[in-house]
Amino acid sequence: MRIGILGTGSYVPEKVLTNDDLAKIVDTNDEWITTRTGIKERRIASENEATSDLAFCAAKKAINDAGIDKNEIDLIIVATMTPDHFTPSTAALVQDKLGIKAAAFDISAACTGFVYAFTTGYSFIKSGIYKKVLVIGAETMSRVMDWSDRGTCILFGDGSGAVVLGEVQTGGFCASHLVADGSGACELIVPAGGSRKVVTVEALENKETYLQMNGREIFKFAVKVFPESVDDVLKQQNITADDIDLFIPHQANIRIIESIAKRFKQPLDKFFVNLNKYGNTSGASIPIAIDEASKQNRLKKGDKIVITGFGGGLTYGSILFEWSK
């Protein structure tokens, strides 16, 4: 059985926050942000938009693109680090919004979440338990931002992307590589709000309910593990980077992407980049990029594609697949 992507969809909020807008909030400017990150603007969810709302919009588009009835979906997996609630799962809320009967659960692997969720969805189909799986990456990162912290607030944005996985005639999933290194958990963390540290007045005053990130360490981590993970899936298929038609990396920082392109001796135009428009949307960045690459005709049937994520956990991973549409 070959298992691949039947349809894609994405959604980003209407509100645009530019670098010039941020310069009015923190000590920064457009040139400083652009040269260091490649980001020009990002999208911010409205007050009445939560992660499940963004996820639902992307899900509807993916189901429509797949050309299937929504009731054919057997399982919904949502990759997110910004769920609507601790419980119920965001996936359960999406299931209700879709009005279908399906299993549903969330995966928490931060910026690598979609890669984990894609592999999980593939495994459920491969095992014969389900036939069609809706995999979503969705984030409202603006809700966990300290807007006085220049080191984080300039980087992140909100958005969602989704794919429908199912049996395909040609191509599809080829190889996967998933890793976690919890020893680096403190480098990217929201300290308060869980069972380790509950939300207290002190936690709020110390801004411990916001994302805290050691940018320097995360950058070093990314440029180290990115090639390691890509090498792993390439070796599984006994191919090289030259055989890949398009790399779709997590959209974190243009300098990371440029470093990896140089490491594999590949032209930068073989790496899909849209972080200039959306910033770092964490678990949503890869599925948004897949959908945009498809809509821009950057993907042709039979193309070999590698997606790679890295982020909080610390986690990282890659998937190699052939485009089936």
- Which residues are part of the catalytic machinery? 111, 250, 280
- Taking the C-alpha atoms of residue 166 and residue 290, their distance in angstroms, rounded to an integer, is 16
236: Cα separation from own chain's centroid? 23
- Given a contact cutoff of 8 angstroms between Cβ atoms, the answer to whether 179 and 244 are in contact is no
- Given a contact cutoff of 8 angstroms between Cβ atoms, the answer to whether 71 and 100 are in contact is yes
Check whether the bond before 314 is cis (ω within 30° of 0): yes
- Taking the C-alpha atoms of residue 124 and residue 1, their distance in angstroms, rounded to an integer, is 12
- The dihedrals phi and psi of 148, each to the nearest 5 degrees, come to -105, -5
- Given a contact cutoff of 8 angstroms between Cβ atoms, the answer to whether 109 and 283 are in contact is yes
- Could you tell me the two tokens for 243? 């055989």
